[in-house]
Structure formats: C-alpha cells, structure tokens
Amino acid sequence: MGSRDSDGTTGPAAVKILIAGGFGVGKTTMVGAVSEVDPLRTEEYLTEASVGVDDTGGLASKATTTVALDFGRITINPELVVYLFGTPGQERFWFMWNDLVNGALGAVVLVDTRRLEVSFASIDFFESRGIPFVVGVNCFHGRCERTTEEVRDALDLDPEVPLLMGDVRKQEVGRNLLLALIDLLMARTAPVGASSST
C-alpha cells in the first residue's frame, strides 16, 4: 500500500543503512536476520575511473569490475521503508560506489575478533567520510573471546562509537545494533533539530 502525495509521487519514502565489515564477518547473515524478505542480490559495474565522478560514460573502456551486494528491507509503515545494504566484499571498489554510500543514514560495521583487521578499512572509511556508525562484534556460535575493552583498544575506536557484542544470526542482536545506530543519530540530531526550520 502506498501513499499519494499532493505532488503526484506515490509509494513510501526509503532510507538506507549500510552493513559493512570485511569478508566473512556476517554481513549477509545480519541482513537476513532482520530483513522481512530473504536477502536479495544485485550487482553493479564499477570502474577505477569513476572515482568521485557520477558519470558512468566510457564504462567499457576502463578497468571494470562487477561487485555484488546483498540487501534486505524493513517496512516501518506505509510511508517509510528501511533498506539494509550489506557492502560488497571487494572493499576498494565499493568505497567508490557513490550511489551506495551517498545518503546513507549510517552504518553497522561488523567485526570478527579472530580477524579484526579485515574490518579496519570499513571503520577508516566511515570515520573519514563522517558517516555515523556503530560496531557489532559478531560472536560466532555465541562465543566471544575478547572483552569489549580489548576490541575497542584494538580498533582504536572513538569513545562515542557504540560497540555491541552478539551472534548476528539472532534477530534481536541485529535489531539492537540498528537501534544503537538510530540512538546515535538522534543524539546528534537533537541539538540541531531544536533550531531547525523544518
């Protein structure tokens, strides 16, 4: 069911949240655990030459790769849908996928304590772009071998970045990560929103 606005547009408005982290940290698992549909898969052609440029003209003549991403959906109400995009494994390519990154509310970066380093690039990326994010420590099979303090230290996380631990196969773990991100966004929005004209 969609809405019909006075300007003639129809359907719900959409927002997106990125689920990032290195290869094999459980991104698609988390998307599947909280999405109302089985994760969908789509792909895009990206070229080295498209860095910072939206125009994809001349695509075929440049070094090109195909990246795939898995995504899911949470319908909030008839007016609003949240899309969750698991970022593709090939990090150096999705970092320049402007359409994927632009306009995201924020991100959940998943880490695996046995291989923290595979998620370093995602954390650096969101920090450098000023995109709000939370960190989820995926405790595979319910076992977490490190404390939150140890992981924070190892990741050199800013104190204000929320960090939660849990098995992302469980819906409530993914949901709590998303709630932590929304709370972070609300905390940042509040002082500005108070004086906002909208």
Partner 1 sequence: MSHWTDRLESDDAEDSLVRPYTITRGRTAPQRDDLTLITVVTAVESGDGRAAARRLEPEHRAILEQCREPVAVAEIAAELDLPVSVTKILIGDLASLGKVTIRPPLAAERSGGLNMDILQAVRDGLQRL
CB of 114 to partner 1, least distance (A): 29
Q: Which residue has the tokens 């992302």?
A: 168
The helix (run of H) or strand (run of E) holding residue 18 is: strand 13-20
C-alpha 27/C-alpha 110 separation (Å) is 7
Q: 89 — phi, psi (to 5°)?
A: -65, -35
Q: Measured from the CB atom, is 51 or 76 closer to partner 1?
A: 76
Interface characters, 116-155, with partner 1 (x: CB under 8 A):
----------------------------------------
Among 72-80, 87-95, 137-145, 154-162, the segment contacting partner 1 (CB under 8 A): 72-80
C-alpha 68/C-alpha 70 separation (Å) is 7
Q: Are 181 and 106 in contact (CB under 8 A)?
A: yes
- Burial level of 134, CB count in 10 A (0-12/13-18/19+)? buried
75-94: contacts with partner 1 (CB under 8 A): 75-77, 80-83, 85
192 interacts with partner 1 by CB under 8 A: yes
- Give the binding site for partner 1 (CB under 8 A): 2, 8-16, 34, 40-45, 54-60, 64, 66, 71, 73-77, 80-83, 85, 99-100, 102-106, 171, 175, 178-179, 182-183, 185-186, 188-190, 192-193, 196, 198
